Structures are given as C-alpha cells and as structure tokens.
Chain A
Amino acid sequence: MNQRFTGTDRYIATDELMMAVNAAITLARPLLIKGEPGTGKTQLAQEIARALDRPLYEWHIKSTSKAQQGLYEYDAVSRLRDSQLGDAKVQDIRNYIMKGRVWEAFESAVQPVLLIDEIDKADIEFPNDLLRELDRMEFYVYETRELVQARHRPIILITSNNEKELPDAFLRRCFFHYIRFPDEETMRAIVGVHFPGLKKELLAEALSTFFELRAMPGLKKKPSTSELLDWIKLLVAEDLPPEALRGDDPKKLIPIMHGALLKNEQDVQLFEQLVFMHRRAR
C-alpha cells in the first residue's frame, strides 16, 4: 500500500508532481491533473501503473460520454430484440448489463490505477454525476438491485485540458496538480530518458531552438514536450550534425523538420516573417 511513486526510467516527475501523486495514493483520493497539452498528463497514469505494477483501466471521455457509461450500461434494445426472437437469454437481466471501466476497476483483485482522461470534454454535468462513485467508491445497479463496491479503492487520475470549468463539489474531492511546462533543466532530463545516446551538442542546439520558438509571441499553438520529442526523434533518424540547426545559411530561414514543432501554417508564416526581419536587422 505504501509504495511511493518517484518517476520511472521513461518519465521524469518533478518534486511537486511526486508529492501530489503520493498524497493521492496514500489518502485514496482522485488526483486531478491539468496542464498544457503534451506535458504528459495521460502518460502519467500509465507510468504510475507501470512503476507500482498495478493494472491500468483507461476511460477516455468524449463529448457524448455519460457518467453512467463508465459504471455500466443496460442494453435494453438488444433485450427487446431477443424477446421478440424468443431467445432464452432474455430471462436474466444480467446478460444485458455491460460493465463499464469504473466497474471493471472496482472489481480488480489488486489496487488498480483508473485513468479518466480529458474529463472536460464531456458535458458540464458529467463530473457531478460521478461524485458519489468517487467519494464512496460504490454505486448501485438498479436493474439487478445490487451494490457494487470497490474491492480496493483505485488510484484515480483525472486529466483535464481546461476546456470547461469543473464543478466545485467535484473539485473538493480531488487533489489537484497543474503540470507546468518544464524548465530547461527538467527538459534536458526528459530528453535524456527518451534518447539516452543523444549527442550533447545536438541536444543543446535543439533545446535552444525549441525554447526560442516557444518564447515567440503570437504563436497559435506553442510546441510542447511531446512535440519536442518527436522532433528530436526525426533529427536522430536523419543523423544530423548539430551545425544543421544553427542555420547560418540565409536560405534556410526556419529550422529543419519544423513540421514536427509548428502545427499551423499561420504559425509557420509568422515565424518566417519574424526570422526574416531578425536577419535583416543584423
């Protein structure tokens, strides 16, 4: 029970993140994770499950998701159809109750990790509908009149991209952590665990290009950690020398493979304009 999460060989966790995760594990409360896209919110759950050797149940939320779907669904339509066809299965309503991810997690023999991904995508009432389930870790199946209780309180991680405000009653039951964008030192460590053999100079050049790009005003979509990793993957695959990134060649205005970093043609254009002006000023 008292295992502590300290990051993994693939995931660098800051002190504050570790504290939030460990507090949530110890007190068996859900942990709400927010942060810029691409800072590893979803991955955190996978890494916790891996580090603590627990089964992971992922529930990805869409705009049409209902809280009930995570618990169970009663497939009334196929029961109706079966009754018309005279199927014997019809007698037992249990045949038509389909377990959702939360139920599965509640039934796990060891304490599982349950990820509720992108909760802000769902309807505004969605979090409110899960209050009792998250608080007491139990729910009632009306069709079979049974009470489902968690065998072990799962470690629940909830991620949000801040697209909707979450209700206070829901927030009150959670721990909260905002994953900040990593500073250069942390970023070095993150790249280090993903590309252990990376040449020092290339890394330094890539990181400085990356942070310059992020510091640019007016970008529609700032490149994130996951995009940096993709980009470095490309650079490594091409086996480029660090000089290629320095871009003293006036013809090459923007960094090579920028497609991995800039995801919007307006951004690319803006970047080109800025670099051009910058070059002329020199």
Chain B
Amino acid sequence: MLVQFFFELRAAGVPVSITEFLMLLEGLQARVAQVSAQDFYYLARACLVKDERHYDRFDRTFAEVFAGAERAFAQLLASVPAEWLQGLGARMFSEEEKRRIQALGGWDKLLQTLRERLREQQERHQGGNKWIGTGGTSPFGANGYNPEGVRIGQDRSGHRRAVKVWERRDFANFDDRVELGTRNLKLALRRLRKFAREGAADQLDLDGTIDATARNAGLLELKLVPERHNAVKVLLFLDVGGSMDDHVRVCEELFSAARSEFKHLEHFYFHNFVYENLWQDNRRRFAALTPTERVLRTFGNDYRVIFVGDATMSPYEITQPGGSIEHWNKEAGALWMQRIVARFPRLVWLNPEDPTRWEYTPSVRIARELVQGRMFPLSVAGLDQAIRELRKPLLGAVPAPPPPGATPVTQPGPPGAS
C-alpha cells in the first residue's frame, strides 16, 4: 500500500527519495501519527514533500491512492463478525473512551450505527462519488480497527474533516508544473541562471594586508575585502495581446522561475509598442496604469532591461503620434523607446519570431534600429547572445532625448522612407 503510494508520488512528479520514505515508516513505527487519517496525512506530507509547490500534487495523489484503500477496507470491515470487533475494541479503547461509548448507547448500538454508515458509504461509492469517505475508517488497513472510525456517530469526526484537508487543494496556486513548452526554454533558463549567479565569499586583500602589516611595524594585520556580490536587477517589458499571448506565458514562466536568482525583477506589460503608459497587472490593465515616465524615474540605470515582443505591427504604430491601435498617444512610440534606451544602457529585445523573417517586416526592422541592433531571437543561442550583451559593463552616459512634454528634436521618418 505505502510502497504503491510512494511510486504514485514519484509518478506524479513529487521528488521523493527512499530516505524520506524510510523516514515516514520510522515515524509510523514510532507512533508519531495517532491512528487517524488526518495525522497520517500531515506526517506523510512533512516527511515526503519538501517544497510547498509540490503540496498540491501530493494532495491529489494522496486522495487517489487512499480512496481505493478506504473502499477496500470498508468492504472488509462489513464482513467482519461483530464479536471480533468487540474484542478488538475492548482491547484498544481506554477507560475514558469506553465510558464515552456507553454514553452513546453502548456497543451494540454503536456498531449498528457503524454498519449503517458503512453500507451508506458503499452505496455512495457505487454511485460514482469517488472519495468522500464518510465512513471514517482508517486508510491504512494494516493498523486494523480505528477508534476514530467508530466515533462517526458524533458530530465531530476527525476523519470527515481530514478528507477535506487534502480535498480542498489549498496549495493549487503553488504548483509550478505548467509545462514550459520546449526543451529549448528549459535550457534557456539555465543560461539565465548562469548570468545571475556568483558566489559570496570573503577574500584576502593581499595588497592591503602587506600595506597594513608594514605600517604596523611587522605585526600581521589581515585585510579582507568582500567579493563582489551579485546584484542583478532586471526590468522586464512584455508585449501582451494578440499573437504574443502564447509567448508571454512562456516568458513569464521563464523569468519567474529565475526570480530567486535576481536581486530585483520587475515586469511591465505593453501592447504592441511602448507608449506613455505601462501596466503590471493584466487583469486591471485599464485601471492601474503606470506612467512610463515614472518607470524611467524610478529605476536606475543599473537595471538591465529585457523587452519581449514580436514587434510585428503596422510601422505607424511605432513612428507616428496617435499611431497606437488602442488609444491616442501624444508622442510616438519610437520617442518613448529612445528615452528607455538612453536611460538603460544595458538593454536587449528578445523576439520569439523566426529571425529569417525579421528583414521582411518593416516594424521589426524599425524596432531593431531603435534598440541599436540588440534584438535577439528567443532561442538558446539568442539568449546566450542577449546575456552576453547584458553583462557588458556600464559605459559613459548616453545623451538622453528631451523629457516628455518638450518638443521632440528629431522625429523618426515615416515608415515609407525606411
């Protein structure tokens, strides 16, 4: 039974090892879990699951595996002669519990109730309701008769409550297993990690030590310097809507998986191209807008900027004021893009479209010029290049285009000209 559970868990993608399984058995042997399904559930979860993201998978597997067990056990119990139960019960119950049983109308009545309940449960199971175990029998048959189970008659049934705990699936939100699409993107994630990770250690400052020791008249004085610590800050701009929706899901997953590796990761959404407003929550994209200007002010130039978008649209949407398909934009998207490029020297654009087609789409060409050629395909190789680009040290400040409100000096030419 438990071995089957173990393999079911592995099949469901919970990384359980033999050590952990043995730990559970040890716990059962040490009677950590009193004979109740809920206790067993909690114990098994604490032993076998080491990440809240796997809680939901565990809950589902638990329900599946032990639903069958409950049914089998119910049938078994229904065929057990009453005297046997009585004998067992008398041995297992404490004095206090026996008194309580008397209060409930004595053994016979209790057993009768139990029988009725069990029949009820079987019927309900046949009815197709798979695992509502009202019967209150213990899920692990080996341990035999379960006092908790007999106490069904009372309103407070630990068992009934227990079923709910894993049925509720409270942890569904934590599950991270939404398949990342292709193996490519999994590899890409690893590249991103490489980009972000550096160890933290104290290092001996040799020059400083020699210097200080000499000043100290030969008495040794150690000087230590902290190793340069990783502090990668990333701003993510994601194109949403229309053709980009599939890609965006993939990218969001990609970056949120790498989130722990970055010191700061902020994301903003735009539709087709950046204009004066961005938003952070797609559900409230018209209610909670963030002015792009504020983004430019809030985040320093030490942030690395990653755009993700297919840049496929009408060229007017980039070059002309009022070109946005959703609203009237006072200033052209290209101008906003220039401001962003000037503010954040380390910037790349990842394009999920096939690079061979970039040349034939005017808007992609324009966008690529705007990011000074730093557009890369969303593939392993492309990510590699993009990350190499992002790792470049900061150079001198680039002159910024005029702040919003002032008259733009240069307007990118009309699309026909390019």
Instruction: Please give the residue numbers on chain A whose beta carbons come within 8 Å of chain B beta carbons, in ascending order.
Output: 15-16, 19-20, 22-24, 26-27, 29, 31-32, 34, 63-64, 77, 80-81, 84, 123-125, 162-165, 168, 171-178, 180, 217-218, 270, 273, 277
Contact = CB atoms under 8 A, between A and B. Distances in A.
A172 B20 contact: yes
Interface residues of B, number: 42
Contact of A175 (B47, B197, B199, B222): B47
A32 B50 CA distance: 8
Interface stretch (B78-86, B94-102, B244-252, B282-290): B282-290
Contacts of A273: 288
20 contacts: A15-B38, A15-B42, A16-B42, A16-B45, A16-B46, A19-B46, A22-B32, A23-B43, A26-B32, A27-B23, A64-B202, A123-B200, A124-B199, A168-B17, A171-B50, A171-B51, A172-B17, A176-B49, A218-B280, A218-B284
B417 interface: no
B129 interface: no
A177 B32 CA distance: 16
B201 interface: yes
Contact of A81 (B30, B171, B219): B219
B288 A174 contact: no
Given A123-B201, A217-B281, A172 B19 contact: yes
A226 B17 CA distance: 36
Given A23-B27, A77-B222, A123-B200, A163 B260 contact: yes
Interface string B7-48: 000000001010110010011001011000011001101110
B170 interface: yes
Contact of B260 (A15, A27, A165, A172): A165
B201 A176 contact: no
A19 B288 CA distance: 43
Nearest to B29: A27
A162 B165 CA distance: 24
A218 B51 contact: no
B52 A34 contact: yes
A46 to B, nearest CB: 21
A234 to B, nearest CB: 29
B50 A19 contact: no
B400 interface: no
A84 B52 contact: no
Contacts of A32: 50
A171 B165 CA distance: 24
B33 A19 contact: yes
B32 A218 contact: no
B237 interface: no
B220 interface: yes
A77 B23 CA distance: 44
B55 interface: yes
Given A31-B46, A168-B17, A171-B50, 7 more contacts: A16-B45, A16-B46, A20-B42, A23-B33, A26-B32, A27-B30, A270-B288
Given A63-B200, A218-B281, A176 B27 contact: no
A182 to B, nearest CB: 12
List the 10 closest A-B pairs by CB distance, nearest first: A19-B42, A178-B52, A171-B50, A20-B46, A176-B50, A175-B46, A23-B32, A16-B42, A26-B32, A172-B19
Contacts of B242: none
Interface centre among A16, A84, A168, A273 (most CB of B within 10 A): A16
A16 B283 CA distance: 34
A180 B170 contact: yes
A118 to B, nearest CB: 14
A274 B203 CA distance: 50
A174 B19 CA distance: 10
Contacts of A270: 288
A16 B51 CA distance: 15
